[in-house]
Amino acid sequence: VIEMKAATFVCALVVLLGAWSLSCEAQQPKMVAYYPTWLAQGQSYLPMTKIPTYYTHINVAFGCFAGGNVVFQTVPSNLNDMLAQMKQVQARGQKVILTMGGWTCDWKDVFNDVSGYAVKTVAFALRYGFDGIDLDFEYMGEANSPVPASVNLVINYMKTIRSHLPSSLPLILTPMPSYVDPAEPSLNDYYNGFIWVMNNISQDLSWIQIMCYNNPNDQDPYTNVINWSEKFSIKNWRYGTVNYNGYDSSKIVVGILSSQNAGSNGYLTPTQINAEIVKIRNRFGAFAGTMMWDIILDYYNPRGTFYTGNGIQNCVHNKQC
C-alpha cells in the first residue's frame, strides 16, 4: 500500500461485467480500515477497540516472511494487547483480516516453496484468530522476479491458501490499479500481471480492493502521455467495460486515503469521495464499498478524529450522499 514507481492506469476496468454468486457477507456494504502494526504503538497508539463500529473489516498490516516462517513484519510491542482487542472487536461484529505483503515484504524465499508458505500463512492466520486473509503483492516483475514467475507465484499462493482456509473466511486481493490495466495486455508487461492473476483465481476470491492512490507517475494508456501532476484516485476512473471472468461491481472495493499525509497522492476529501461514490452507484448499481489506508492516520488527522471515516460512512452504508 506504499508508493509505486510508475502507473499506467485504468482503475475503472475493475468495475467489471460477469456473473457472480454473492455470499451474504459479500452483499453487505463494506468499510475496510487498514491497521498498520508499526503505527499501532508508542505515541501513535490507537487501541483497536476505538475504531468505529461502522467499519466492517479491520485489516492488520502486514504479515511477511522471515527465517522460513510467516511473521508480523513489524511486531507491535503491545502484541498481546492487540490480540486481546481483536477478540473484543470481533465480539461486537467486526471482522479482523490478516494482510500479507506490502511494499517492503521480501518474497524471494517464497518462490522456492509457494505451497509451503501458503499453508504456513493459513496456519499463522488461524493461530492468531484472524477472520480471513488479504494479499497486497507489490512486486509484480520486480525484485529479480520476471512477470510470468510473479504471476505463477501469486496464483499458486492464493489457490493454496483458498484450499486450506475455511470456506467461511474471505480471501481478498488488493492490487494497484496499474497492475490491472488492459491497455498493453502482454504477460511480460510489468503492469499487466494481475490481469492473468485475477482471471485465474476469480472463483477463489471473495472480493478485490483497488488502491486508487499512490500512483505518482500517472500515465494515460490511451495517449502514452505522462501527466506528472494528475492524481490517480477514484476521480480518474474510466468506468470501463472490460470483462474479467467472475467479477462485477458488487465485488469491487475502492481504496482511498484517510488523510493527505497517508500517501503520496490520490487524497480526496469526504465530500469528493461521496460525489464519486454516487457516480459509481449511478453507473453500476451494486457497489461493494471502500477501503481506507489507514485508520490510525485518520484518527490523528488534525481536522478531527476519524475525519474521513465519519465523512463517508453514511454514504457507503446508507446511500445518504
Give the helix/strand (H/E) hosting 218: strand 218-220
Q: What is the pLDDT of residues 125-152, one digit of tens each?
A: 999 999 999 999 987 765 556 777 888 8
- Using an 8 Å Cβ cutoff, are 107 and 143 in contact? yes
Mode of pairing for the β-strands spanning 133-136 and 95-101: parallel
Q: What is the pLDDT of residue 4?
A: 29
Reported as a single tens digit per residue, the pLDDT across 36-86 is 988 876 667 889 999 999 999 999 999 999 999 999 988 877 889 999 999
**pLDDT-wise least confident of 141-145, 229-233, 311-315:** 229-233
Please tell me the pTM assigned to this model: 0.84
CA distances from 106 to 75, 144, 206, 230, 264 (A): 16, 11, 25, 31, 22
Give the three cell numbers for residue 23.
Answer: 455470499
State the cell numbers at 63. 504479515
Q: How far apart are CA 242 and CA 45, in angstroms?
A: 42
How far apart are alpha carbons 70 and 123 in whole angstroms?
9
CA distance 135 to 154: 9
CA–CA distance, 171 with 204 (Å, rounded to integer): 7
Dump pLDDT digits (tens) for 254-264.
889 998 888 87
Cβ-in-10-Å burial (0-12, 13-18, 19+) of 27 comes to exposed
Residue 33 parent element (H or E) = strand 30-36
Instruction: Give the whole-angstrom CA distance, residue 9 versus residue 7.
Output: 6
